[in-house]
């Protein structure tokens, strides 16, 4: 039985929220990001994109291309709150809901279609519901696998809905530019084009031996995906064996302080997720990828199962130190796991500190839930203005 | 080197030092036993550089003084399988060891005695003398609470303190803590407070067996030495700060449950069979004369009832079954007391009439 996977991606999420909150911006090129001189673009409205502005672009460059753009500061908490609201709208459709980021999620509808419904009809219903309940647009892809559904959702933005019927995956992918394939960034794209691979179809026809070792462990994955084979499961965090967050840098990072700061922010997010789902992590895994796609993972067991940032971060940071990692870093990630139910918490004779941290973390979670994600943050993660 | 010795005596001496032989080491000689025959005795030495063992065997039959080292496991295997008779053991300048009895002769390749590590000397400025059964009690009632977590190495041993009058041994893995105190006198120079690796204490328990003899314990700056009869066990000490354990022992508990130790042990052990493997959580509910124990896991459910006498109000609490099972297994009294205050407060286990023993155990989340 072919799977029915839906990928939902909010359209210009941050910029659209700004337009929603400040209706006078409607129809204007809006850039979210900053600060003006040295900052980067976090998001751009479709009006701004028409001028060639895109996310990750230096702000100076963006304003040269589109001097009339309205620049709005990033309001992470507001976006986070909206994201939560959207997830509650998705949740009734299937228990197999995996949130990928603040504006992206997968739904596995294979065994959860209402009578008479199809993947396409549910996707259309989701699009309508979100527009009605939030005023925001989104694009959806329906396919038999996650990566293909994601590429489908990306195809007709904004407010697109693209269905790839079972069996037509390879045909759907074949004409697409190679850069659209999941896992193919700028560097990989250059290398593939050098091999004469310009479309996904070109890659699908490429003998595996031609790929050689230059794409590392991701090589065979790329090939399988290009041929339409995509069976990675939708894993809701509630029954996950691990909870992780990772981020790819716009430009490769070598500075240890930057890596640590990212790691802390990611770990903070992981810890919050652990607490929200009532899990304790028994271990931590650190993932690093360099500019040549070499990926390493390092794992450790925590002295005590934990759901507080401090304990998880200390372990993750120790892994970073022990890894003796000095290469330009493209991606950094942290995963907590294996997990155990928080109800099985074993109290510690000497850990009053930990209990205090847990109480503080609980209080912070409550403040965030009530006043939004930006109401409170770690001093080390606070933006320096 | 050349000596004669009854097979059984030689074999026993080899066995008594075999546990300090390094099983896997980059230094091959650490898999060897040093045999050193001189002055009317045979000295057998083994070490893995963490612990070391020596056995001094008085021997009438030293024919030629000398020393050699040979692979311990091979020698023990050969000697153990020889018939019970007088053995002649000799070595030559090429470090070949020859073991012969009436109809058997074995030659084993060895290494020079000079290459064998010298065991550290432990000063005897601080020397306790403790009867074997008392020392055994001190170790076996605490060692199980030590940690196996190598990232906190100071918890992988037992703290030994001595003020000249009382020896105290403490172990904790931060979830539970065991404290045993025994009277101990001897040559006292200054207050002793050292962490002895659990591994060394495990070997000590094995050596102690059921001996009634007194054992001398010399505590040096970085080593400890146990001398029992012919055998000496020396171990390095663990560096680091042991947690301040006194303040986590509850001075008083609001509720006291008294139960038959064996009945309680059996119930806890059975319930833990179905408890979820990672947490091993069991829930205790006590009211009037009944303690109920409930456990639940992927495999099913357990319900147990144990007769108790309760001093205090009814209540409930959750524990890791292993932490209760471990202590109930080492106590030897007929009844035990479990002191509790609340579901988040530590529990205090005591053996009836054994005031010098305390076991503190932290609960688990009740929900």
Return the CA Rg of chain B: 25
Q: Residue B205 contacts by C-beta under 8 Å, 6 or more apart in sequence?
A: B136, B139, B140, B143
Question: Do residues A211 and A203 make contact, with C-beta atoms less than 8 angstroms apart?
Answer: no
Which range (A218-232, A324-338, B247-261) has the least confidence? A218-232
**Banded model confidence at residue A15, pLDDT cuts 50, 70, 90:** very high
Say whether B249-361 and B2-115 share the same fold.
yes
Instruction: Among B344, B362, B365, select the one facing A343 at the smallest CB separation.
Output: B365
Distance, CA of B61 to CA of B1 (rounded, Å): 11
**Any domain includes A83:** no
Q: Do A347 and B363 touch (CB under 8 A)?
A: yes
How many C-beta neighbours within 10 Å does residue B220 have? 18
> Looking at A62-163, which runs of residues are DSSP E strands?
70-72, 97-101, 104-108, 138-143, 161-163
Please give the structure tokens belonging to residue B175.
Answer: 């979830």
CATH tag, B249-361 = 3.10.150.10
Distance, CA of A119 to CA of A164 (rounded, Å): 10
CA distance B253 to chain A (A): 16
Q: Do A350 and B276 touch (CB under 8 A)?
A: no
CA distance A269 to chain B (A): 24
CATH of the domain at A305: 3.30.1490.100
Please give the structure tokens belonging to residue B201.
Answer: 């204490």
Residues A247 and A377 in one domain: yes
- Determine the average pLDDT of the residues in A112-119: 90
Please give the structure tokens belonging to residue A178.
Answer: 């190679």
Count of residues making up chain A: 385
For residue A99, pLDDT beyond 50: yes
Please give the structure tokens belonging to residue B54.
Answer: 């020596």
Q: Which chain B residues are within 8 Å of A346, Cβ to Cβ? A: 175, 279, 320, 362, 364
**Banded model confidence at residue A54, pLDDT cuts 50, 70, 90:** confident
Per-residue pLDDT 10s for chain B (367 aa) are: 999 999 999 999 999 999 999 887 778 999 999 999 999 999 999 999 999 999 999 998 899 999 999 999 999 999 999 999 999 999 999 999 999 998 999 999 999 999 999 999 998 899 999 999 999 999 999 999 999 988 789 999 999 999 999 999 999 999 999 999 999 999 999 999 999 999 999 999 999 988 899 999 999 989 999 999 999 999 999 999 999 999 999 998 999 999 999 999 999 999 999 998 778 999 999 999 999 999 988 788 999 999 999 999 999 999 999 999 999 999 999 999 999 998 989 999 999 889 999 999 999 988 7
Distance, CA of B260 to CA of B334 (rounded, Å): 6
Residues A189 and A281 in one domain: no
Distance, CA of B105 to CA of B99 (rounded, Å): 6
Question: Average pLDDT, whole number, for chain A?
Answer: 87
What's the count of helices (H) and strands (E) in chain B, helices before strands? 6, 26
Q: What single-letter DSSP state applies at residue B170?
A: E
For residue A37, pLDDT beyond 60: no
Instruction: Among B248, B279, B364, select the one facing A349 at the smallest CB separation.
Output: B248
**Considering A25, A45, A75, which residue would you say is the last residue of a domain?**
A75
**Any domain includes A103:** no
**Any domain includes A104:** no
Q: Do A349 and B364 touch (CB under 8 A)?
A: no
- DSSP code per residue over A232-289: PPP--GGG-S-EEEEEEEEEEE--HHHHHHHHHHHHHHHHHHHHHTTEEEEEEEEEEE
Catalytic residue at A385?
no
Among the listed residues B151, B17, B114, the one whose alpha carbon sits nearest the alpha carbon of residue A319: B151
Give the nearest chain A residue to B344 (CA atoms).
A347
- Determine the average pLDDT of the residues in A129-136: 95
- Name residues 153-212 of chain B within 8 A of A (Cβ): 172, 174-177
Distance, CA of A76 to CA of A42 (rounded, Å): 11
Question: Do residues A200 and A189 make contact, with C-beta atoms less than 8 angstroms apart?
Answer: no
- Determine the average pLDDT of the residues in A175-193: 86
**Any domain includes A252:** yes
Strand partners, B182: B167
Q: Which chain B residues are within 8 Å of A345, Cβ to Cβ? A: 364-365
CA distance A372 to chain B (A): 29
- Determine the average pLDDT of the residues in A218-223: 80
- Determine the average pLDDT of the residues in A204-227: 79
* Tally of domains in chain A: 3
Position A33 scores a pLDDT of: 83
**Mutation for testing the A interface, residue in B151, B319, B361, B363 having most A CBs under 10 Å:** B151
Distance, CA of B77 to CA of B73 (rounded, Å): 6
Residues A212 and A259 in one domain: no
Span B127-246 CATH architecture: Roll (3.10)
**Banded model confidence at residue A384, pLDDT cuts 50, 70, 90:** very low
For residue A46, pLDDT beyond 90: yes
Instruction: Among A340, A346, A349, select the one facing B177 at the smallest CB separation.
Output: A349
Any CB–CB contact under 8 A between B91 and chain A? Answer: no
CA distance A303 to chain B (A): 7
Distance, CA of A185 to CA of A174 (rounded, Å): 18
Position B220 scores a pLDDT of: 92
How many C-beta neighbours within 10 Å does residue B301 have? 11
Question: Do residues B164 and B249 make contact, with C-beta atoms less than 8 angstroms apart?
Answer: no
Residues of chain A whose beta carbon is less than 8 angstroms from a beta carbon of chain B are: 282, 303-304, 340-351
Q: Which chain B residues are within 8 Å of A348, Cβ to Cβ? A: 174-175, 362
Position A351 scores a pLDDT of: 73
Catalytic residue among A61, A104, A168, A272: A104
Q: Residue B41 contacts by C-beta under 8 Å, 6 or more apart in sequence?
A: B56, B57, B58, B59, B62
**Mutation for testing the A interface, residue in B150, B283, B364, B366 having most A CBs under 10 Å:** B364
Among the listed residues A58, A79, A108, the one whose alpha carbon sits nearest the alpha carbon of residue A12: A79
**Banded model confidence at residue A251, pLDDT cuts 50, 70, 90:** confident
Instruction: Among B151, B281, B363, select the one facing A303 at the smallest CB separation.
Output: B151
Position A42 scores a pLDDT of: 83
pLDDT tens readout for residues B130-167? 999 999 999 999 999 999 988 789 999 999 999 999 99
Q: Do A348 and B364 touch (CB under 8 A)?
A: no
Burial class from Cβ neighbours inside 10 Å (0-12, 13-18, 19+) for residue A326 reads exposed
**Mutation for testing the B interface, residue in A340, A344, A355 having most B CBs under 10 Å:** A344
Q: Residue B98 contacts by C-beta under 8 Å, 6 or more apart in sequence?
A: B88, B89, B90, B91, B92, B105, B106, B107, B108
CATH of the domain at A26: 3.40.1170.60
Q: Do A349 and B176 touch (CB under 8 A)?
A: yes
Q: How far from the centroid of its chain's Cα atoms is residue B339's Cα?
A: 27
CA distance B222 to chain A (A): 27
Strand partners, B301: B296
Residues A212 and A280 in one domain: no
Q: Which chain A residues are within 8 Å of B272, Cβ to Cβ? A: none
Residues A309 and A199 in one domain: no
CA distance B263 to chain A (A): 25
Return the CA Rg of chain A: 22
Instruction: Among B243, B362, B367, select the one facing A347 at the smallest CB separation.
Output: B362
Position A382 scores a pLDDT of: 66
For residue A145, pLDDT beyond 90: yes
Q: Which chain A residues are within 8 Å of B240, Cβ to Cβ? A: none
**Any domain includes A142:** no
**Any domain includes A298:** yes
**Any domain includes A199:** yes
**Considering A75, A99, A117, which residue would you say is the last residue of a domain?**
A75
Count of residues making up chain B: 367
Q: Do A347 and B364 touch (CB under 8 A)?
A: yes
**Banded model confidence at residue A385, pLDDT cuts 50, 70, 90:** very low
Residues A247 and A201 in one domain: no
Please give the structure tokens belonging to residue B234.
Answer: 């020396």
Q: Do A349 and B151 touch (CB under 8 A)?
A: no
**Any domain includes A288:** yes
How many C-beta neighbours within 10 Å does residue B335 have? 18
Residues A216 and A254 in one domain: no
Q: What single-letter DSSP state applies at residue A58?
A: B
CA distance B279 to chain A (A): 6
Q: Do B172 and A349 touch (CB under 8 A)?
A: yes
Distance, CA of B118 to CA of B29 (rounded, Å): 12
Please give the structure tokens belonging to residue B109.
Answer: 């390749």
Residue-number span of the structural domain to which A268 is assigned: 243-381
Position A238 scores a pLDDT of: 62
Residues A188 and A277 in one domain: no
For residue A30, pLDDT beyond 50: yes
Q: Do A303 and B152 touch (CB under 8 A)?
A: yes
Instruction: Among A303, A304, A345, select the one facing B364 at the smallest CB separation.
Output: A345
CATH superfamily of B2-115: DNA Polymerase III, subunit A, domain 2 (3.10.150.10)
Q: Do B175 and A344 touch (CB under 8 A)?
A: no
Burial class from Cβ neighbours inside 10 Å (0-12, 13-18, 19+) for residue A43 reads buried
Position A374 scores a pLDDT of: 65
Torsion of CA A25, A28, A32, A35, to 10 degrees: -100
Q: Do B365 and A345 touch (CB under 8 A)?
A: yes
Distance, CA of A184 to CA of A218 (rounded, Å): 9
Q: Do A347 and B278 touch (CB under 8 A)?
A: no
Any CB–CB contact under 8 A between B263 and chain A? Answer: no
**Mutation for testing the A interface, residue in B146, B171, B173, B175 having most A CBs under 10 Å:** B175
In this predicted model, which residue has the larger pLDDT, A73 or B258?
B258
Please give the structure tokens belonging to residue B187.
Answer: 């040559």
Q: Do B320 and A304 touch (CB under 8 A)?
A: no
pTM listed for this prediction: 0.68
Q: Residue B301 contacts by C-beta under 8 Å, 6 or more apart in sequence?
A: B274, B294, B295
Among the listed residues B132, B100, B109, B92, the one whose alpha carbon sits nearest the alpha carbon of residue B10: B100
Question: Do residues B62 and B33 make contact, with C-beta atoms less than 8 angstroms apart?
Answer: no
């Amino acid at each position: 039985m072919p799977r029915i996977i839906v990928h939902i991606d909010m359209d210009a999420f941050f910029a659209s929220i700004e337009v929603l909150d400040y209706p006078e911006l409607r129809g204007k090129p809006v850039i979210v990001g900053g600060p003006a001189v040295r900052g980067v673009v976090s998001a751009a409205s479709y009006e701004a994109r028409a001028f060639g502005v895109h996310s990750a672009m230096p702000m100076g460059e963006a304003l040269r291309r589109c001097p009339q753009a309205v620049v709005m500061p990033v309001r992470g908490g507001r976006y986070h709150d909206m994201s939560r609201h959207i997830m509650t709208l998705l949740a009734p459709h299937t228990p197999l809901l995996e949130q990928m980021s603040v504006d992206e999620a997968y739904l596995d509808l294979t065994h959860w279609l209402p009578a008479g419904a199809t993947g396409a009809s549910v996707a259309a219903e989701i699009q309508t519901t979100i527009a009605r309940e939030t005023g925001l647009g989104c694009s959806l892809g329906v396919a038999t696998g996650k990566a293909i559904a994601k590429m489908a959702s990306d195809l007709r933005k904004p407010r697109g809905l693209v269905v790839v019927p079972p069996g037509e995956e390879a045909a759907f992918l074949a004409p697409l530019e190679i850069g659209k394939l999941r896992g193919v960034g700028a560097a990989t794209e250059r290398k593939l084009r050098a091999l004469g691979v310009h479309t996904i179809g070109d890659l699908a026809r490429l003998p595996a031996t031609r790929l050689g070792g230059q794409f590392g462990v991701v090589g065979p994955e790329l090939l399988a995906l290009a041929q339409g084979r995509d069976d990675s499961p939708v894993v809701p965090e509630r029954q996950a064996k691990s909870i992780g967050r990772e981020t790819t840098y716009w430009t490769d990072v070598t500075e240890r302080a930057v890596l640590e700061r990212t790691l802390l922010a990611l770990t903070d997010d992981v810890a919050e997720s652990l607490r929200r789902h009532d899990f304790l992590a028994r271990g931590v895994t650190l993932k690093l990828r360099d500019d040549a796609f070499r990926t390493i993972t390092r794992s450790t067991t925590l002295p005590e199962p934990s759901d507080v940032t401090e304990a998880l971060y200390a372990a993750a940071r120790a892994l970073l130190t022990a890894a003796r990692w000095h290469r330009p870093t493209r991606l950094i990630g942290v995963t907590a796991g294996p997990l155990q139910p928080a109800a099985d918490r074993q109290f510690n004779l000497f850990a009053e500190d930990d209990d205090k941290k847990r109480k503080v973390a609980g209080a912070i979670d409550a403040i965030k839930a009530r006043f939004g994600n930006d109401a409170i943050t770690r001093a080390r993660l606070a933006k320096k203005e | 080197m050349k000596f004669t010795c009854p097979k059984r005596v030689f074999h026993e001496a080899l066995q008594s030092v075999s546990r300090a032989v390094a099983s896997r080491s980059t230094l091959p000689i650490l898999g060897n036993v040093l045999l050193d025959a001189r002055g009317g005795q045979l000295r057998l030495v083994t070490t893995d550089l963490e612990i070391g063992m020596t056995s001094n065997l008085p021997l009438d039959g030293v024919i030629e003084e000398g020393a050699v080292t040979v692979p311990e496991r091979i020698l023990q295997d050969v000697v153990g399988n020889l018939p019970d008779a007088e053995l002649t053991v000799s070595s030559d300048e090429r470090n070949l060891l020859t073991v012969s009895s009436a109809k058997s002769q074995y030659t084993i390749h060895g290494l020079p005695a000079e290459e064998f590590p010298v065991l550290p000397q432990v000063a005897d400025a601080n020397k306790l003398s403790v009867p074997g059964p008392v020392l055994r009690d001190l170790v076996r009632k605490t060692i199980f609470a030590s940690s196996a977590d190598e990232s906190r190495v100071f918890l992988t041993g037992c703290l030994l303190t001595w003020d000249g009058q009382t020896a105290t041994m403490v172990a904790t893995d931060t979830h539970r803590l065991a404290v045993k105190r025994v009277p101990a006198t001897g040559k006292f120079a200054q207050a002793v407070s050292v962490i002895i690796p659990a591994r060394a204490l495990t070997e000590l328990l094995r050596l102690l067996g059921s001996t009634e003899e007194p054992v001398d314990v010399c505590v040096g700056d970085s080593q400890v030495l146990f001398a029992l009869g012919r055998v000496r066990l020396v171990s390095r000490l663990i560096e680091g700060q042991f947690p301040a354990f006194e303040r986590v022992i509850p001075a008083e508990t609001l509720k006291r449950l008294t139960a038959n130790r064996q009945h309680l042990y059996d119930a806890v052990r059975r319930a833990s069979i179905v408890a979820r493997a990672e947490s091993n959580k069991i829930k205790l509910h006590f009211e009037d004369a009944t303690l109920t124990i409930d456990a639940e896991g992927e495999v099913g459910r357990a319900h147990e009832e144990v007769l108790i006498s309760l001093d205090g109000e009814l209540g409930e609490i959750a524990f890791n079954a292993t932490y209760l099972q471990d202590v109930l297994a080492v106590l030897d009294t007929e009844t035990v007391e479990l002191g509790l205050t609340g579901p988040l407060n530590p529990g205090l286990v005591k053996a009836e009439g054994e005031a010098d023993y305390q076991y503190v155990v932290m609960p688990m989340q009740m929900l």
